[in-house]
Structure 1
Amino acid sequence: MNKQLSWAIIFTGAGCFLWSCKDDKGKNQQAAPPPVPVNVYTVTKGNATYYDQYPATVTPLNQVDLRPQVNGYLTGIFFKDGSQVRKGQKLYEIDRQQYVANYQQAEANLQVQETNLVKAQKDADRYHELEKHDAIAKQQVDYADAALAAAQKQVAAAKANVESVGTGLRYTTIYAPFDGTIGISQAKLGTSVSAGQTLLNTISSDDPMAVDVAIDQKDLYRFERLKKKGGTVKDSTFKLILPGQETYPFPGQIYLIDRAVDPQTGTIKARLVFSNKESDLKAGMTANVQILNDAKAEKLMIPQKAIIEQMGEYFVYTTDGKAAHQKKVSLGARIGDQVVINDGLNEGEQVITDGTQKLKEGSPVQIGQPKPAGAPTAAK
């Protein structure tokens, strides 16, 4: 190979090498993704006043199943199903004829025994008078005293029988044990009822109405303090959210806290009371109780739309102005469109609120101008 050919090969190879490098560089520049336009929010502390929410069940303070205490046929119903009843109001009546007859017989027997007692008393008095004059045998006096004692016991037994039969007679009429609402009658006129077995109806008090919630044992001290604090009709510490998501217009108060914590669930029952003058609350309703959190400390807060959920864990994207970086965070309560950050962020950091769907770790970003309040946000 001559000298000129060698130099030609060298220059040709160098040119190819330079062209190849230039081509690769162009491809790399084309492959680099453009910055993602994003909006950011600077992490700040705010007043973390919010309501804790607990599932709850509405229950009456007093409720009783009405069952007969005597056997017989139902002969009277003296109320309208579902109506308000007053304490002592007559509700049901069971056939009285047999019980009236038994009572009259018991009274007649008592009168007989009382007559026998009078006779025995006179005999005993007479014999004791004769004994003073030594005109009767001592044995006769003893017999008279024994007859008097027996007559006294017979009268006592007859009185007890009258009381027993009278109680049965009184039980043929059933009265309301307290003010409240009575349900739909489970027995109709003419039904044969059995003592202690047949369910006639259920009556429950309805003003005030109790609301039961299960609270975690770690909140027990706080609830005990709230109970001692009490409340007023204007107090908004306890709010009731009805099944239709309406807020019940009357506030509640803690009525009692149960005796012990359930060791299996680590919870304890707290009972609240709410005024129910309009009977809007019904026994058995499910609702939610919102309880004002009394924590005064300021908390780190960011917009909820900055939060990304992945398999039950929560993340945000932060940025230094050039690239996006994913951070795991621990969330607290949600307050309006904000959420409390318990851990994972520091005050002053910038979190990305818009454009997160196009981001991954290290993605270049271009920060847009902050949007004024109420302006529509950019689509993610």
Structure 2
Amino acid sequence: MKTINHLKPAIVILGSIFLASCGNGDKAAQQQQGPPPATPVSVYKVAAEPVTTVDSYPGVVVALDEVQIRAQVGGFITAVYVKDGQKVKKGQKLYEIDRTKYQAAYNAAKANVQMAQANRDKAKKDAERYKNLAAQDAIAKQRVDYALTDLANAESQVAAAKANLSSANNDLQNAMIVSPLTGTIGISQVKQGSLVAPSTTILNTVSTGHPIAVDITVNQADIPHFISMKNNPQAVKDSLFTVQLQDGSLYKRQGRIIALDRAVDPATGAITVRIGYPNEDGRLIAGMTVNMKVLNKSTENELVIPYKSVIEQLGEFNVYVVADSNKAEQRIIKIGKQFDKNVVVKSGLKAGELIVSEGAQNVRPGAVVKF
């Protein structure tokens, strides 16, 4: 038993010596390995260049001229002169409302005018005769005054009768409904024999198809940009506005801004911009929904980097900048519009700086890179 007690301190001492020798060995190995090797990457030199991006807006095709056809007088439709979807010219007959009572009213008004004119002529002759008699002191002056009053009343009656005749004539003419413009008529909302009410019943709609327009809604912050494009005489030549149809095809004709709405919608902070297009072949139809492609050309050169070099972390955008001694420095940047495979940098970088464009996933802040 005593021998065993003497052996325990010796074992502990030997173990300590062994551990110490192993620790010194690891340190020596680390000193022999040196710093970690540089991480291979590809780099990109930041440069400023002209930038053209394409902004996309949902749009609606609208007719520049469109009129709802309503009856101005009431009655039954007695004739329909056009077919649905037909091309019509201004002044062409479209519908006829039963004209019987309007013709009768016109004839009566015309007769009243003739009667009033006859009474006026008689009063005029009486007034002239009494004036001559009064000049000879053959009648009292009061009688002349009465005759002149009768003449004035007769003139008023003629004017009233003519006004009634004009109103009756308007009603008679309005019983024949004609096209207010040259364009295409839609599908009729009434048939022959239908009863229509004045100013309320919509009979049909006529609209022009050439030229035509597309309405888009843009943020109020973009108003100065769109005003500058509106005033740009090269807008059509530069093809700033291109319509993409629902089948993905592009409308070949080029448009220009013809109007900005009078006010910004306070509820949305947006304004409507109207872009006009020639439409001889009728490919654009009012009511169609399209995608408007708007070229956005920068007025000054902007910093551009490959989008794949950008790292997004917690809502922030970062890149690795190659600093002194080829050490990677992580930097926060603010980005602008993305186009093709590149993105505009608004702040955080300067022209001429090198950034890691490929291999950033293997880089750590402060690490040495090689390229």
What interval of TM-score do these two structures reach, taking the shorter chain for normalisation?
0.7 to 0.9
Structure 1, residues 145-180: CA drift from partner, whole Å, max 9, x if none? Answer: 332222222211111110011111111122222222
Q: 1:201 to 1:241 in 2, by over 3 A?
A: same
Give, in whole Å, the separation in 2 of the partners of 1:310 and 1:100.
82
SS in 1 for 2:280: coil
**Counterpart selection for 1:119 from 117, 122, 128:** 122
Q: How far is 1:65 from its partner?
A: 1.8
Corresponding residue number in structure 1 for 2:192: 189
Query: Once the two structures are superposed, what CA deviation does each residue of 1:193-246 show, in whole Å capped at 9, x if it has no partner?
Result: 111111112222222222333334443333333333334753323333333333
The number of equivalent residue pairs is 363
Is 1:234 equivalent to 2:242 in the alignment?
no
* Aligned 8 A contact 1:103 1:165 in 2: yes
Q: Map of 1:1-380 to 2, 5 A cutoff?
A: 9-19=12-22, 41-231=44-234, 233-309=236-312, 313-316=316-319, 327-346=331-350, 347-353=352-358, 361=364
Using the TM superposition, give the Cα deviation of residue 99 of structure 1 relative to its aligned residue in structure 2, in angstroms. 0.5
Q: State the one-letter code of the partner of 2:134.
A: E
Partners of 2:115 and 2:213 lie apart in 1 by 55
Deviation at 1:273, TM superposition (A): 1.5
Q: How has the CA–CA distance of structure 1 residues 249 and 99 changed in structure 2, closer, same or farther, with 3 Å as cutoff? A: same
Alpha carbons of structure 1 residues 7 and 249: separation in structure 2 relative to 1, 3 Å = same
Look up the SS of the partner of 2:95 in the other structure: strand
Q: CA deviation at 1:138?
A: 3.6
- Post-superposition offset of 1:186: 1.5
* Superposed displacement of residue 367, structure 1: 7.1
Contact 1:324 1:359 in 2 (8 A): no
Please name the residue that 1:375 is paired with. none
AA of the residue aligned to 2:73 = V
Q: Distance in 2 between matches of 1:182 and 1:101?
A: 31
My pick for the range that moved more, 318-327 or 173-182, is 318-327
Alpha-carbon distance between aligned partners in 1 of 2:314 and 2:203, rounded to the nearest angstrom = 53
Q: Calculate percent identity across the aligned residue pairs.
A: 41
Which is further off, 239-248 or 88-97?
239-248
Which has the larger displacement, 207-216 or 17-26? 17-26
In the superposition, the TM-score normalised over structure 2's length comes to 0.81
Quote the offset at 1:24 in angstroms.
Answer: 11
Q: Quick one: distance in 2 between partners of 1:335 and 1:156?
A: 74
- Structure 1 residue 310: Cα displacement: 5.5
How far off its partner does 1:298 sit?
A: 2.8
In terms of mean alpha carbon deviation, does 17-26 or 117-126 score higher? Answer: 17-26
Aligned amino acid, residue 342 of structure 2: Q
Distance 1:311 1:318 in 2: 19
| Cα drift, residue 64 of structure 1 | 2.2
| Contact preservation (8 Å) 2:218, 2:271 | yes
Q: Does the 8 Å CA contact 1:34/1:364 hold for their aligned counterparts?
A: no
Taking the aligned partners of 1:167 and 1:105, their CA distance within structure 2 comes to 14
For 2:45 and 2:177, how far apart are their aligned partners in 1?
Answer: 70
Q: Which is worse superposed, 85-94 or 9-18?
A: 9-18
CA distance in 1 between counterparts of 2:173 and 2:315 reads 64
Provide the secondary structure at the position in 2 that maps to 1:206. Answer: coil
TM-score (norm. length: structure 1): 0.79
Give the counterpart letter for 2:200 in structure 1.
Answer: Q
CA RMSD of aligned residues (A): 3.8
